[in-house]
Structure 1
C-alpha cells in the first residue's frame, strides 16, 4: 500500500514539478517558487469549479425540458378524451338499437325526453356565460335542430340521440376546460386543489348530491344520464373555481415586451463575469416603457433596494409576491390596490444594471420561483378561456 502511495506521489511531482517564476518590474527582479503542492491545489480548485459549472448547466437543461413534459401531458389528455367519446357513442348506439327493437311507447318516450330536457336545461344554465361554451356546443345544437324523421316515434328517438350528443359535447367541454386549468396550475408549481373551496363543496344544484343515483331520483331520469350530467357539472364548477383563482394570480406579462434578455437560473454575471444565480427574468426595452402589474394585489414596497435600484413589490395574497426592479420612475405608493395590467412605473437602468430593462421576480412563501413557469401558466389559462 505504501509503495502505491509513493509511486502516486512521484507521479504527481513529475506532473507538477517545482517551478520558478521571475517577474521584472521597475528594474527590480522578483522570484516566486511554485511548489508541487501549490500547483496540485490550484489544479484541484479548477477541477472543482468545472464540476460545479457542469452541475449548474445540467440543472438549466432540466428546467428547459419541463415545458415538453407539459406538452406530453396535454397529448395524453386529448387521447383520453377521444377514447371517452368513442365509448359513449358506442353505448348510445346500443341503447337506441334496444329501443327500436322493443318498439317503445310514444307517451313514455316523450316523458323521458321531457325529463332529460329539464336536466339538460339545468346544466346549460350553469354553463351559461362560460368562455368558449358557445363554440363547443354549437355543432351539437345545430345537429339537434336539423329536420328529423316524419314518424313520431322516430322523431322522439332522434331527440334523445341529440340530447346524448349535446350532453357529450357539454361533458367534453367541461372536462377539457378543467383539465387545462389544472395543468396550468401545476405548470406554475401550484397545487390546484389548494385553490378549490376548502370544504370540498362546489356550487350548483346538480352536484350537491354525491351519489348520482340520488340525483337520478331527483331529476327522474336514468342513472347513467344523471351521472354524466353530474360529472359535467362538477368539472364545470371546478373549472370556474380555478378560473376565478387564476384571475387573482400573477399570470400576466409584466411588460408588453416580446423578448427576454436573461432567464431564471445560473448565468454569467455581467459585472463579475463569473457564474451567478439570477433570480428573475429580464425584459429589455426603451426607457420609460410601461411596467405593469402581472396580477391584482396590494403594493407592499416602493423605493430603493440594494442592487435592484428603484423597486416596486406587489403582494398578491397566499404567500405570492412579485418584484419589479431597475425602474426609472415609480407610479404607485405603498398600500395602493392595483389591478392586473395597471402601470407601476417606467423601465430604467437604476441599481446594478448594464442597460434599460425590467428585472421581474416571483416569490412564493419567501422563496424565488421561476417566473417563466407563471407566464406559461397564464398562456394555458387564456387558452382554457
Structure 2
C-alpha cells in the first residue's frame, strides 16, 4: 500500500516538474541542457527557502520598530497625564487663594508660609543639582517662583509667589517622573525588571524621602500636606532615576565596536558553512582586521584564549550574573583578572576560529543563559537619549 502511494507521489512530481530540455545557440554552436525533475525540485526548494527567510527577517525588523514605537507612545500618554494634573493643581491653587483671602490672618501669616515653602523647595532643588537637563527644565519656573511685580499690593505679590512655587514643584515632579519613566522603559527594553536595580524600602536616601509618609514630612518641613506630598514624590522619582542611572553604568549597554555594520542578528539563521538553519547566540559586526573592540561595561576579565568554534576569545564578568563574550579576535589586549572600564579597548577584530572573514561575534549572558544583545544596545541608546 505504501509503495503505491509512493508511486503516485512520484508520478505527481514528474507531472509537476517534467523533464525539460534547454537549447542555447552561441557562436554558431548549439548546446543543450537537461533539467531533470530532481534539479527542478531543488531549484524550487531553494527559491521557497529564500522567500521564507526574507519574510522572517522582514517580520523581525517590523516587530522591533513597533516595540520602540510603543514605548514612545507610552511616554506620550504619561506626558498628557502630567499636563492634566498640572491644570487640576492650578485650579485648586486658585480656589485656595480665594479661601486664604477670606480667612482670618494677614500678610504676615502668608509670608511665613511662603518662606517655609521656599525652604522646602531649596532642599528639593539641591537634589536636582547636577542632573542632566535639570537647569533647562526648571530654570524658567525658578525665575517665576522667586520674583513678583512691584506694581501690585503685598498680598497679591505673595499670592503670585505661591503660584510660582506651585509651578516649580510641578515642573520638578514632571522632570523627575519623565526621567525615571524613560530609564524604567530602557531597562524593560533590555528584558530587565527596573525595581530589582533600585534599593528596597526607604533606603533610597535623602531627607525628603526618609519620612514614612507625606504627613510626617509636612510636619518636619512645616508646610501643607499636599505640598509636602508632591515634593516627596519628585524626590523619590529623582532618587530612583539616579539609582537606575548608576545601575546602567554597570550593565553592558555600550557598543563593542564603532562604525562597523551589523551583519548577523541573534536567533535562527542559515549557517555560513553548512547552509542549514542554526541558532546564532549573538551579534556579528564586520570590519577590517584589528578594528578596535571595546568593553561594553566595567568588569573583570574572566577568560582569554581559544574556545572551540570561537577562535581567540575574551570573556568579561560584570557582576550580578552578567557576562559578555568577544570572539574571532585577531589580537587580545587584556589578561584574566584584569579590571576594565566601559569603553576600554580589549582587542582587535579578526577571523580566527569558525569564521568566514574579519568580524566580531558578540554575546551577552545573564545567569548562564545567552540573551539577545540587540535589546541591550537599544536600551543603551534609550538611556543616552535621556541625558
Please give the per-residue CA displacement for 1:324-370, whole angstroms capped at 9, x wherever unaligned. Answer: 11111000000101000001011111112222221111111111111
Please give the per-residue CA displacement for 1:15-68, whole angstroms capped at 9, x wherever unaligned. Answer: 3689xx9xxxxxxxxxxxx9xxxxxxx9xx99xx99997996666764564333
1:75 aligns with 2:68: no
User: Which residue does 1:248 correspond to in 2?
Assistant: 250
Is the CA contact 1:296–1:338 (under 8 Å) kept in the aligned structure 2?
yes
Matches within 5 A, 1:210-221: 210-221=212-223
Report the alpha carbon displacement of residue 380 of structure 1 after superposing the two structures with TM: 1.7
1:275 aligns with 2:272: no
Please give the per-residue CA displacement for 1:125-181, whole angstroms capped at 9, x wherever unaligned. Answer: 122222221111111122234542431111111111111111111111111111111
Is the CA contact 1:60–1:265 (under 8 Å) kept in the aligned structure 2?
no
**Matches of 1:103 and 1:155 in 2, distance apart?**
18
User: Which residue does 1:375 correspond to in 2?
Assistant: 377
Report the alpha carbon displacement of residue 383 of structure 1 after superposing the two structures with TM: 2.3
User: Which residue does 1:183 correspond to in 2?
Assistant: 185
**Matches of 1:232 and 1:309 in 2, distance apart?**
51
Normalising by structure 1, we get a TM-score of 0.84
User: Which residue does 2:25 correspond to in 1?
Assistant: none
Report the alpha carbon displacement of residue 91 of structure 1 after superposing the two structures with TM: 2.1
**Matches of 1:336 and 1:288 in 2, distance apart?**
21
2:12 to 15, 31, 36: 15
- CA 1:146 to 1:60, structure 2 compared with 1: closer, same or farther past 3 Å? closer
User: Which residue does 1:337 correspond to in 2?
Assistant: 339
**Matches of 2:268 and 2:6 in 1, distance apart?**
37
Is the CA contact 1:257–1:283 (under 8 Å) kept in the aligned structure 2?
no
Q: When the two structures are aligned, how many residues end up with a matched partner? A: 364
User: Which residue does 1:105 correspond to in 2?
Assistant: 106
- CA 1:12 to 1:287, structure 2 compared with 1: closer, same or farther past 3 Å? closer
Report the alpha carbon displacement of residue 232 of structure 1 after superposing the two structures with TM: 0.6
2:226 to 216, 224, 227: 224
Secondary structure of residue in 2 paired with 1:206? coil
**Matches of 2:76 and 2:374 in 1, distance apart?**
22
Can you give the 5+ residue segments of structure 1 that lack an aligned partner in the other structure?
22-33, 35-41
Give the stretch that moved more between structures: 289-298 or 204-213: 204-213
**Matches of 2:310 and 2:208 in 1, distance apart?**
52
Is the CA contact 2:202–2:210 (under 8 Å) kept in the aligned structure 1?
no
Report the alpha carbon displacement of residue 81 of structure 1 after superposing the two structures with TM: 2.2
**Matches of 2:353 and 2:365 in 1, distance apart?**
20
User: Which residue does 1:233 correspond to in 2?
Assistant: 235
Can you give the 5+ residue segments of structure 2 that lack an aligned partner in the other structure?
20-36
Report the alpha carbon displacement of residue 371 of structure 1 after superposing the two structures with TM: 0.9
Please give the per-residue CA displacement for 1:285-322, whole angstroms capped at 9, x wherever unaligned. Answer: 22222111110011011111122111111111111111
Is the CA contact 1:212–1:226 (under 8 Å) kept in the aligned structure 2?
yes
- CA 1:154 to 1:134, structure 2 compared with 1: closer, same or farther past 3 Å? same
**Matches of 1:107 and 1:237 in 2, distance apart?**
35
Please give the per-residue CA displacement for 1:199-240, whole angstroms capped at 9, x wherever unaligned. Answer: 452111111122211111111111100100110111111111
Is the CA contact 1:144–1:162 (under 8 Å) kept in the aligned structure 2?
yes
Normalising by structure 2, we get a TM-score of 0.84
State the Cα RMSD in Å.
3.4
Matches within 5 A, 1:265-344: 265-344=267-346
**Matches of 1:10 and 1:259 in 2, distance apart?**
51
User: Which residue does 2:149 correspond to in 1?
Assistant: 148
2:263 to 243, 261, 266: 261
